[in-house]
Structure 1
Amino acid sequence: MLDDDDGFREFVRARLGPLSRVAYLLTGDHHGAEDLLQSALIKLAGRWKRLAAEGYPEAYLRKVLYHEHVSAWRSRARRPEVSILPLADRAAHTDEAADVVRRLVLRQALDKLTRKQRAVLVLRFFEDLSEADTAQALGCSVGTVKSQTSYALGRLRVVAPELAQLMEEKALR
């Protein structure tokens, strides 16, 4: 049982949305994201008192998310089937069809990467972490982050040239 049950619940309520999006971007699957986040929250719950006192519960949780995701490919021989993308908040978007197309194209492109490449791109470009912070979160060297970023972006240029077209269309608006 948690010593600071209310603090943990408050933390989860406040950060669930952003952390769910990160988990989804990492896994590319709604159910996989739920499982990933749930297992990370279980690990956080066991260390909540200490981490809350130190003031680093979110950093710990994010690190667990990234490590769990990257290590999952080692234990699974196949990738799970992809589910339909959840729709974003409709009120915030003016052109829902174009947004859906962009999400699907991005999703399909990310599916063509390895788990580690995908994690590096999510951390660097979605989470906006520095190379050093990304390396720390993944437990690897800065050189590995640089090379994985380069390989991932190069692979996307080859296997998903439609991303460049999407970027051009978005820039024209």
Structure 2
Amino acid sequence: MSIDSGRRPPDDGFREFVRAQWGPLTRTAYLLTGDRSYAEDLVQTALEKTHRRWRRVSAMDAPVAYVRRVMVTTAISWRRRRSLGEIPAQPADRVQTGDPYQQVVERDHLLAGLRELPPRMRAVLVLRYFEDLSETDIAAALGCSTGTVKSQASRGLQRLRDRAGTADADLTVVLKESRA
């Protein structure tokens, strides 16, 4: 097809997929990166990589799972390449409002704790508690065993508990409430 024909090639539903999934993917990316601008860049990069293989990906049962996996692997590779000078001491999109509600304070501490975790451990916790995926689905998304997912989740939760000084039940409640 020539460029001058004035017609666009069909996108086979990719535009609709992007419209429907942009919000959830951006939320997941924010939790993976801890920074709104990096999150948007991550989603755009993952969608660009997915678009190249869209015909094959759209034929799969779960194209969202494919995009999530691309996001996780891309976020991990970005993290490895980032210099220490690029990690902000306090993210620009974090606003100190003095909100008196304890839930807001707990969520803030939780997100700060997530930012301190290694990328794969963070990815396991985000996919498990924020995306509500099963251990099997997480293992498939990350390309590892279910046992690895379980151990990464256990270690990640323990690090968050140690940081926050909270009991087991308190932390999982905060994690589940933070999905909103």
Structure 2 CA distance for partners of 1:14 and 1:162, relative to 1, 3 Å:
same
In 2, distance between residues paired with 1:115 and 1:58? 20
How many angstroms apart in 2 are the aligned matches of 1:49 and 1:158? Answer: 45
CA drift of 1:163 comes to 8.2
- The equivalent residue for 1:145 is 149
Between the aligned residues of both structures, percent identity stands at 49
Counterpart position of 2:76: 70
CA distance in 2, matches of 1:141, 1:9: 33
**In the alignment, which residue of structure 2 is the partner of 1:92?**
none
Instruction: State the distance in 2 between where 1:31 and 1:117 align.
Output: 22
1:95-134 paired onto structure 2 within 5 Å = 98=101, 100-134=104-138
Unaligned runs of 5+ in 2: 175-180
Whether 1:84 aligns to 2:93 is: yes
The Cα RMSD (Å) is: 2.9
CA offsets 1:88-135 (integer angstroms, 9 cap, x no match): xxxxxxxx7525434322211212211111111001111111112111
Number of residue pairs the alignment of both structures matches? 161
- Greater CA drift, 38-47 or 52-61: 52-61
- Post-superposition shift, 1:3? 4.3
* Distance change (3 Å), C-alpha of 1:44 and 1:161: same
Q: Given residue 48 of structure 2, which amino acid in structure 1 is its aligned partner?
A: I
Bigger helix share: 1
Relative to the length of structure 1, the TM-score reads 0.79
User: Does the CA-based 8 Å contact 1:135-1:142 persist in structure 2?
Assistant: yes
Deviations 1:35-85 (A, max 9, x none): 110100101111112222345322211110111122323222426212324
Q: Distance in 2 between matches of 1:55 and 1:165?
A: 35
Structure of higher CA gyration radius = 2
* TM-score normalised by L of structure 2: 0.76
Residues 165 and 56 of structure 1: is their aligned pair in 2 closer, same or farther, counting only changes over 3 Å?
closer
Distance 1:169 1:25 in 2: 17
Choose from 21, 26, 48 the match for 2:54.
48
Q: Which runs of 5+ in 1 are unaligned?
A: 87-95
| Equivalent residue letter for 1:112 | E
Change (3 A) 1:101 1:130: same
- 8 Å CA contact 1:120, 1:134 repeated in 2: yes
Give yes or no for contact 2:110–2:160 (8 Å, CA) kept in 1: no
CA distance in 1, matches of 2:121, 2:63: 25
